[in-house]
A and B are shown apart, each in its own frame.
Chain A
Amino acid sequence: MHWKYFDPLFEYEKWKLEIDDYSGWVGHKYFIYDFLRNLKPRVIVELGTHYGTSFFSMCQAVKDGKLKSSLYAVDLWQGDKHAGYYDKSVLSEVEKIASRYYKSLKYELLQKSFDEALGLFPVNSIDLLHIDGLHTYKAVKRDYLEWESRVKKDGLIILHDIFETKDDFGVYKLWKEIKRKHKTLEFHHSHGLGIIFKKPEKFIDFLELEEVWQRYYSTIFENKVLNKNKLLDGEIKELIEVHKENKDLKDKKEIILKDIESLNKILSNIENAKFYKLWHLI
């Protein structure tokens, strides 16, 4: 399966409030968009939505790709010590944006604690879980352990802030632990984003792309979001092309090796046949 790169327009950006200004997640929105368009997960759950940069980026992908996904955003919309505390106006804005641009989608804004929402999702029911709640080690570990069983055996878990070490942020500690046990993929920009593959063999083609993705999506972020225009577009295209060529060559090599293996088998069957030996004796 080849990874397709999209060039989306995020409708939620039209909202008068520039919600991306409030988000540390903004650097990953082009990635999550492509991620959803390519992998098409059916049940998507987000723990910690705030203004909804990640949630609406996912909604955009579902809308543009006409995916049959259901999206659930779980948040009390009260804030916390890391995101800051806020009033009801944030949820009200989120509701307005959702109904204005993503009304046609199957989404739910669940104003609940993560514990309350846990009971709504049976074991092995979620395809993609995004954890972005309170970022202390204790809190994020609890979220991870409690919700991990809700994710399907071949599902995916995304963690934000995996490289944030300020104050008492502790996702990076959990991330180190997870990396020892699971196959993962990570981004370093925008506070870091980590993806855990519960069944990595299903995503083997994509796992090979880590280095390319790191380069591509961090540059897209710098060019499109930070407007730095580092003029690396040509290099990005070249990188994608040479990587695709590399993949094709590896596939080709694999096919030829299999051919050789089966030809060798045929030959050894013939050479081991009694008649063959007899004939050569004569």
Chain B
Amino acid sequence: MKVKIIQEIKRDNLNLEKEIEKLIVRRNKLERKIERITNAQWFKMWQKLVVYKKIILKLLKRK
């Protein structure tokens, strides 16, 4: 007869595996979404603008 505690832990392991599978799907979706945004034209423009803004602010401070 199997020890009760082993069966309980095995059941817990199965549940954990299922949970992990779902979490991996969720993580992949988020990664894809972020990738889509960061590859978009507007995002690249925005990043450039942020850099320009910093440079301009520095220049203004010098003056």
Contacts and interface: CB of A to CB of B under 8 A. Distances in A.
Q: Are A and B associated in one complex?
A: yes
Interface of A: 211-212, 215, 235, 238-239, 242-243, 245-246, 249-250, 252-253, 256-257, 259-260, 263-264, 266-267, 270, 273, 275-276, 279
Contacts of B55: none
A235 B3 contact: yes
B27 A253 contact: no
Chain B interface secondary structure, helix, strand, loop or mixed? helix
A243 B3 CA distance: 13
B30 A264 contact: yes
A256 B17 contact: no
Contacts of A242: 6, 9-10, 13
Nearest to A271: B37
A172 B46 CA distance: 69
Count class of interface residues, chain B: 20 to 34
B13 A215 contact: no
Contacts of A266: 34
A267 B33 contact: yes
B5 A239 contact: yes
Contact of B17 (A238, A249, A259): A249
A238 B16 contact: no
Contacts of A273: 46
Interface of B: 2-3, 5-6, 9-10, 12-13, 16-17, 19-20, 23-24, 26-27, 30-31, 33-34, 37, 42-43, 46, 49
Contacts of A264: 30
10 contacts: A235-B2, A239-B9, A243-B9, A249-B13, A249-B16, A256-B23, A257-B23, A260-B26, A266-B34, A267-B34
B9 A246 contact: yes
Contacts of B24: 256
A256 B43 CA distance: 27
A27 B3 CA distance: 21
The 10 closest A-B pairs by CB, nearest first: A249-B16, A263-B30, A275-B46, A256-B23, A242-B9, A279-B42, A246-B9, A260-B27, A235-B3, A239-B6
Contacts of B49: 275
Contact of A267 (B9, B16, B30): B30
Contacts of A267: 30, 33-34, 37
B12 A246 contact: yes
A276 B30 contact: no
B6 to A, nearest CB: 5
A246 B14 CA distance: 9
Contacts of A260: 23, 26-27, 30
B16 A211 contact: no
A212 B6 CA distance: 9
B24 to A, nearest CB: 6
Given A238-B6, A266-B34, A275-B49, A245 B13 contact: yes
Contacts of A263: 27, 30-31, 34
B3 A253 contact: no
A253 B16 contact: yes
B26 to A, nearest CB: 6
Given A246-B9, A260-B26, A215 B3 contact: yes
